[in-house]
Structure 1
Amino acid sequence: MTLVPQASTRQQIATLIHTPEDACRWMRGINGPHRLEVPRPRDLAFRHEGTALGNVSIGIIEYSTRVTIKVDDLAQSYSISLPLSGDQHIEYGRREFASDARVGAIISPHQPLHLNIGEDCRKQLVRLSREAVHHRLGQLLGRKVTSPVIFDPRMPLEGHLGDWWKTVAHLQELLGAEGSLCDLPEVWGNFENSLITSLLYAQPHNYSGELLGRQQARPGYLDQLVAMMRESLDQPLTLDDLERASGVSRERLYQDFHAHFGAAPIAHFRNLRFDWVKRRLEHAGPRESVSSIAMDCGFLQLGRFSRDYQKRFGERPSQALGRHRQDGIVRH
């Protein structure tokens, strides 16, 4: 059983397990708490191959015998699977559905269900952290998300969902390549953000109505300003700059930003900048420091930055430095 670092932050996953206890322990470390039942334990040959990076892991798993997985609450993960061969059967509440190469499945935190996996089922598995999904949804809604995002477990490969799985396959290929662009924190941050954002829009969940309502009602110029903000995170940006770029009054700017993002224009820009510096710190290389990253991200008053960071995230910047490099290995 191995989980070998492939690069400064990427972790290559490769394991072959023959005992139910070890297989359950391994997947508990990947996805979260569950129970595994194996009617024919001698036939078990559990394989998991893939890559973990940041808030995402993508790989292939198979058990080689019929198994049942019982989940009460994955707690901190979203587990998304799509059979490449064979099938699986999902039961939740009083409903059930079959999952095969045309229908994927999502297990959300706070969502009890039973998963019956066929002996010939070989499936693609995507794990997203609950924190990352909730954080991104909060950005899109312009407010803090307090209750778990619970997706409809059934995920038919139609329209945008088919495109989402194509994105997964592309990222899996990038993650498996040496010297990939994924090793650049800024690049992977965009990939990760796009993967989560497109899932939130494509797959129904308990916040879909609010999310789509905000998207339809949001003035187009706001998206242009937010794109401008993201391109200027390492540069000074003033209210005058935003007013000139938008072509609307300052009063209208404040009204629309508060209505759609829950913050004033410059406060929203500062929120984006803090999100960026947090990602940079967590994916920092061995030669990077808090001060160098903070200044790269436009924070020139380091004492104030450290105080504001701790107030916002509940930890010092030094505690986040290189977190994904240091803690990328799954522990049993």
Structure 2
Amino acid sequence: MTLAPQASPRQRIATLIHDPDDAWRWMRGINGPHELKVPRPRDLAFRHEGTALGNVAIGILEYATPVNIQVKDLAHSYSISLPLSGIQHIEHQQEDFASDAATGAIISPHQPLRLTMAEDCRKQLVRLSREAVEHRLAQLLGRRLTAPVIFDPRMPVDGALGDWWKTVAHLQEMLGAEGSMCDLPEVWGNFESGLITSLLYAQPHNYSGELLGRHEQRPGYLVQLEAMMRESLDQPLSLEDLEKFSGVSRERLYQDFHAHFGAAPIAHFRNLRFEWVKRRLEHAGPRESVSSIAMDCGFLQLGRFSKDYQKRFGERPSQAIGRHAGSGVPAVRH
């Protein structure tokens, strides 16, 4: 079995194992402590292929024979899986549910459970480091955490969670490509943060009430200020403009923006503007061009815009234009 580092920070995951002890050691190194029982060891053909980078590992895993996995505490990681074929069963406290292509599963640190995989179960597996998840949640809450983040183990694949798994598939494709933009730390940092942030908002956990409450209970001036920002995305707003409109001190402005948006005021405005121009490009009509849309959205330095867009989204603006043209989704600012 091999986990060979590449010239880039990415690590390729590729192994085929027939010995249960070797399979156990392999997965212990990937996810953390667990017990593995293989009723038919001679039938074991454990495969794990994918890529690890930073605080994330994404891959495809199968055992090709029924296995029972007992987890007491993964300690340092979150193991998130979604069967592409077959079924796995999860037993957690008094809850027992089947995980298939419509229902994923999350194993959190400090969360004991039992997992049984059928012989035809082949699943997508995502590993997130505990440190990265806790760090991002602390940023969103604006305080230190007092307990581990424990997700509900059952993960229905619909709505926001369906979008989350689509993001996983997209990142898996990027990670597997040679010369990927993921090798740029700034780019991958944004992808990694977005993957963790969206999971924290989409999947229930023991901090969800506080997180969503903080999101919904923004100060009134902040709601009005963000609305103004969304209506002024094509304008060159400055920090002084935001400070004047809000009527609060610059210190409080920075504090509230970091607490509720996880970014400084101008950085959040820039994020909104990039989201807007991305939608405009993807829904562009045949007579629209990258330059006209960029300038319409307030990006006047086209060379810099193209570079910043590629760093942020992993593709050139010209690759995005017209992608969803005719879908009927309006390219609105909010």
Give TM-score scaled by structure 1 length.
Answer: 0.71
- Correspondence 1:122 to 2:122: yes
Structure 1 residues 179, 206: CA separation in 2 closer, same or farther (over 3 Å shift)?
same
Amino acid at match of 1:188: W
Structure with larger Rg: 2
Gaps of 5+ in 1: 228-240, 273-332
Give a deviation string over 1:16-72, Cα, whole Å, max 9, x none.
111111101100000000000111111111100000000000000000110000000
1:101-138 Cα shifts (integer Å, max 9, x gaps): 11000000000000001011000000000000011111
In structure 2, give the amino acid aligned to 1:249. G
Count of residues in Structure 1 that have an aligned counterpart in Structure 2: 255
Distance of 1:56 and 1:141 partners within structure 2: 22
| Structure 1: distance between partners of 2:132 and 2:225 | 23
**Partners of 1:160 and 1:92 in 2: how far apart?**
24
| Alignment match, 2:11 | 11
- For residues 214 and 250 of structure 1, the distance between their equivalents in structure 2, rounded to whole angstroms, comes to 19
CA contact (8 A) 1:6 1:12 kept: yes
Shift in Å, 1:242: 3.2
Residue 244 of structure 1, aligned match among 235, 241, 246: 241
Kept after mapping to 2: 8 A contact 1:225/1:245: no
Deviation at 1:8, TM superposition (A): 1.6
**Residues 1-332 of structure 1 mapped to structure 2, 5 A cutoff:** 1-218=1-218, 219-220=222-223, 242-246=239-243, 247-251=245-249, 253-255=250-252, 258=255, 261=258
Report if aligned partners of 1:225, 1:242 keep a CA contact under 8 Å in 2. no
> RCO (CA 8 Å, sep 6+): is it higher in 1 or 2?
1
Give, in angstroms, the shift of residue 245 of structure 1. 2.6
Cα distance in 2, alignment partners of residues 212 and 48 from structure 1? 36
SS of the residue corresponding to residue 74 of structure 2 reads coil
- Runs of at least 4 residues of structure 1 off by over 6 A? 221-227
TM-score with structure 2 setting the length: 0.71
Partner Cα distance (1:130, 1:223) in 2:
32
Residues 5 and 11 in structure 1, CA contact (< 8 A), matched pair in contact too: yes
Distance 2:226 2:20 in 1: 50
| Counterpart residue type for residue 58 of structure 2 | I
Distance 1:202 1:10 in 2: 27
Return the alpha-carbon distance in structure 1 between the equivalents of residues 224 and 48 of structure 2: 45
Question: 1:220 deviation in Å?
Answer: 3.5
CA contact (8 A) 2:69 2:116 kept: yes
Compared CA separation, residues 48 and 211, structure 1 to 2 (3 A)? same
List runs of 5+ in structure 2 lacking aligned partners. Answer: 231-237, 268-334
SS of structure 1 residue aligned to 2:109? coil
Partners of 1:69 and 1:223 lie apart in 2 by: 47
